[in-house]
Amino acid sequence: MPFDYKVFSGSDILITGGLGFIGSSLARRLVGLGAKVTLVDSLIPEYGGNLFNIYDIRDRVIVDLTDVRDAPAMASLIKGRDFLFNLAGQTSHLDSMTDPLTDLNINAAAQLHILEACRQHNPDVKIVFASTRQLYGRPQYLPVDEKHPLNPVDVNGINKLAGEWYHLLYHSVYKIRTCALRLTNTYGPGMRVKDARQTFLGVWIRHLIEGIPIQVFSDGMQRRDFNFIDDVVEALLLATAEKASEGQVFNLGHSEHISLQELAALLIRLNNGGRYEVVPFPIDRKAIDIGDYYGDFSKVTTVLGWFPQVPLQKGLAQTLEYYRKYRAHYWESTP
Ligand SMILES: NC(=O)c1ccc[n+]([C@@H]2O[C@H](COP(=O)([O-])OP(=O)(O)OC[C@H]3O[C@@H](n4cnc5c(N)ncnc54)[C@H](O)[C@@H]3O)[C@@H](O)[C@H]2O)c1
């Protein structure tokens, strides 16, 4: 049966990390579906939150600048919500190695506070947690399915694993309706592109637009899969609305896999210019690199009927167009 979006109309929704890339895109879609949306975000400098991400829906959402580590404040924000999209996160893998405790407090401890608040004040809420393919570490086989061993290669992966498992535990023990999506590289309008803090793809886009050569580490043969933001938003909606998701984890992914060197060449073609250079892997990044990764997303297709609809080339073209137009809001406006 086709998915019925009416479930969101008039519903009361909280999105943590709502001024970030994925949270703001989700908010835009939910507002369009008639939901009452509240965004919680701490806007910590150098993280991915950006008020410009909601420039077109600013009057149709409530913004609450709370830090998810503030347990009492989160408890009152969670009361009475129908759906909670739990997307706030420290997302830099390198930062998690230089400042592991901040990562622990945001990606693990705060998640436990949020779940406790749900258990005590809103046990009927449905929660979707934004997990990551980083939990698998270096793949032992490809494509990686949900049964693949979990072996994170960095502190961020361990803390996200704890965050994910707290959600699953609160379902198995307390019957809170939780689920988790293990996202792969997600890209599109609203992603942080200022530097390589979060993802190499972001800074590649910035550099291409600025006419600076993009840097491909090592030989660039590592293969990856990428999801365009609209597809990820659709997965979040499905996971929230469908009962079959409860207590489950799902990989997202894409059937197009591409090496980083091929990706660089594709971006240059779509940009009508630019060049890339192959450079040695920086030691700190090499130590936590996972090599080739692409996910098996057949479970989410079977259970929730989700599959990615946006081809890489189309999504990248749309992303480049967005940053050409709005670059001032993503890098030039900051000192
Ligand atoms: N984008 C990807 O490729 C990808 C891949 C795997 C997993 N994820 C997960 O998806 C989620 C959203 O990612 P994104 O790409 O939108 O990142 P993002 O950085 O754009 O958004 C995260 C948001 O969380 C906010 N935030 C961080 N710490 C906070 C805190 N302590 N309190 C309140 N808000 C806080 C940030 O300000 C930011 O707006 C993250 O949890 C991330 O781990 C993303």
Query: 74-109, pLDDT tens digit by residue?
Result: 999 999 999 999 999 999 999 999 999 999 999 999
Q: How far is the CA of 1 from the centre of ligand 1 (A)?
A: 32
- Does the beta carbon of 330 sit less than 6 angstroms from any atom of ligand 1? no
Confidence of residue 24 (pLDDT cuts 50, 70, 90): very high
- Does the beta carbon of 106 sit less than 6 angstroms from any atom of ligand 1? yes
Cis previous bond, 143, omega within 30: yes
- Does the beta carbon of 39 sit less than 6 angstroms from any atom of ligand 1? no
Confidence of residue 70 (pLDDT cuts 50, 70, 90): very high
Angstrom distance (rounded) from CA 34 to CA 28 = 10
- Does the beta carbon of 49 sit less than 6 angstroms from any atom of ligand 1? yes
Structural element, H or E, at residue 39: strand 36-40
- What are the Cα distances from residue 215, in Å, to 33, 157, 202, 264, 270? 40, 25, 12, 9, 17
Q: Of ligand 1's atoms, which has the minimum distance to the CA of residue 133?
A: 6
- Does the beta carbon of 67 sit less than 6 angstroms from any atom of ligand 1? yes
The per-residue DSSP string of 164-191 comes to HHHHHHHHHHH--EEEEEEE-EEESTT-
Q: What is the average per-residue pLDDT within 118-136? A: 98
Per-residue confidence (pLDDT) for residue 2, from 0 to 100: 64
* Residue whose entry in the numeric block shows the structure tokens 């210019």: 273
Angle at 164 between CA 245 and CA 4, to 5 degrees: 25
Angstrom distance (rounded) from CA 45 to CA 238 = 32
Dump pLDDT digits (tens) for 285-312: 888 889 999 999 999 999 999 999 999 9
Angstrom distance (rounded) from CA 232 to CA 223 = 20
Angle between helices 155-174 and 110-121 (to 10 degrees): 20
Dump pLDDT digits (tens) for 28-47: 999 999 999 999 999 999 99
Strand partners, 224: 258
Per-residue confidence (pLDDT) for residue 8, from 0 to 100: 97
Dump pLDDT digits (tens) for 151-172: 999 999 999 999 999 999 999 9
Tokens describing residue 214: 């993009």
Q: What is the average per-residue pLDDT within 178-201? A: 95
Per-residue confidence (pLDDT) for residue 3, from 0 to 100: 76
Q: How far is the CA of 116 from the centre of ligand 1 (A)?
A: 21
- Does the beta carbon of 253 sit less than 6 angstroms from any atom of ligand 1? no
Per-residue confidence (pLDDT) for residue 146, from 0 to 100: 98
* Residue whose entry in the numeric block shows the structure tokens 């975000």: 41
Angstrom distance (rounded) from CA 240 to CA 81 = 13
Q: How far is the CA of 89 from the centre of ligand 1 (A)?
A: 4
Dump pLDDT digits (tens) for 51-67: 999 999 999 999 999 99
Nearest residue CA, atom 44 of ligand 1?
183
Confidence of residue 334 (pLDDT cuts 50, 70, 90): very low
Dump pLDDT digits (tens) for 199-249: 899 999 999 999 999 999 988 899 999 999 999 999 999 999 999 999 999
Dump pLDDT digits (tens) for 316-333: 999 999 999 999 999 974
* Residue whose entry in the numeric block shows the structure tokens 């489950």: 248
Angstrom distance (rounded) from CA 301 to CA 251 = 10
Is residue 123 scored above 80 in pLDDT? Answer: yes
55: amino acid identity, one letter: Y
Strands 36-40 and 83-86, sheet pairing: unpaired
Per-residue confidence (pLDDT) for residue 1, from 0 to 100: 58
Residue from 16, 39, 52, 91 whose mutation best tests the ligand 1 pocket (most atoms within 8 A of CB): 91
- Does the beta carbon of 68 sit less than 6 angstroms from any atom of ligand 1? yes
* Sequence-distant (≥ 6) Cβ neighbours of residue 304 within 8 angstroms: 235, 238, 239, 242, 244, 245, 250
SS3 of 28, please?
helix
- Does the beta carbon of 103 sit less than 6 angstroms from any atom of ligand 1? no
